[in-house]
Amino acid sequence: MAAVGPEPPRVGFVGAGRMAEAIAQGLVRAGKVDAQRVLASAPTDKNLCRFRVLGCQTTHSNQEVLQSCSLVIFATKPHVLPAVLEEVAPLVTAEHIIVSVAAGVPLSTLEELLPSGGGHGDGAGQPRWEQFRLNLLEACGQCEEVPEAYMDIHTGLSGSGVAFVCAFLEALADGAVKMGMPSGLAHRIAAQTLLGTAKMLLQRGQHPAQLRTDVCTPGGTTIYGLHAMEQGGLRAAAMSAVEAGPPPSQGRGGGGGPLP
């Protein structure tokens, strides 16, 4: 792949759903990539309209994305990805960096369906491209490099975890509503409580158990509340939810990342 000059490579999205939109927003709003240098493809205009609002280019042709972009992010639904890879495989060259965010699709599937010749995997593994890729993805949030075996676990913990946290937040607020607090106020306070707690844990590098202990006064209200949560099986329910999150039909390998 040619060296990055003053202008970064074009970034392409094959698939234009919520995940692709979130990544595109992060890249564009952080100034990592100019919106005009982002091209997204989807079969219909249903999702592409949101990319146009961002100022991105759109197309109905997956092949056009491969022909126009150096960094290509596959963001289709997992069961659709194999057919899409077969469609675009003839266009994949050593010039491409391939990234997949399709949950549960292992890298072995990408390697099987995309051409092994041309050394595109070698290029993605070079330090300068590794740093380039991380620099882009960090615009969307915290970026952690992990073994592929952790990717499906990450899906259950972080991807599905958004819904789990919202369910917990709603339950906290409902408890306050039951006690007489207006719903809107209860939800705002619950959200701020979760936000403040998360910030403290990240800033201090503490284990959650330590912060939990710090706010538990002997004989106080918090320990009584924790006892009630334990009686309700909160921990077991949360652990089971994360375990159920990964898509077992796709296997245990993760799909997020460049070809090795």
For the stretch 150-196, pLDDT in tens is: 888 888 888 889 999 999 999 999 999 999 999 999 999 999 999 99
Is 209 known to sit in a ligand binding site?
Answer: no
For 60-110, the pLDDT digits (tens) are 999 999 999 989 999 999 999 999 999 999 999 888 889 898 888 888 888
- CB of 260 closer than 8 Å to CB of 121: yes
77 annotated as belonging to a binding site for a ligand = yes
Binding residue per annotation — 47? Answer: no
Known binding residue 258? Answer is no
Nearest 10 degrees: Cα torsion 163, 167, 173, 174: 150
- How far apart CA 249 and CA 101 sit, in angstroms, is 16
- Residue 173: Cβ-neighbour burial (10 angstroms; 0-12, 13-18, 19+): buried
State the fold for domain 158-244.
Answer: ProC C-terminal domain-like fold (1.10.3730)
What pLDDT sits at residue 69? Answer: 94
pLDDT of residue 181: 97
DSSP assignment of 130-181 equals HHHHHHHHGGGS------GGGHHHHIIIIITHHHHHHHHHHHHHHHHHHTT-
**3.30.420.480, 3.40.50.2300, 3.40.50.720, 3.40.630.70: CATH of 11-149+250-258:** 3.40.50.720
Task: Evaluate whether 47 touches 21 at the Cβ level (below 8 Å).
Answer: yes
Average pLDDT, the chain: 84
The C-alpha atoms of residue 204 and residue 197 are separated, in whole angstroms, by: 11
Please determine, for residue 123, whether its predicted confidence score (pLDDT) is greater than 50: no
Residue 191, annotated ligand binder? no
What integer pLDDT is reported at residue 247 of this predicted model? 59
pTM: 0.69
- Going from N- to C-terminal start, the domains of the chain cover 11-149+250-258, 158-244
pLDDT score at 120? 57
Q: What is the dihedral of CA 192, 197, 198, 202, to 10 degrees?
A: 140
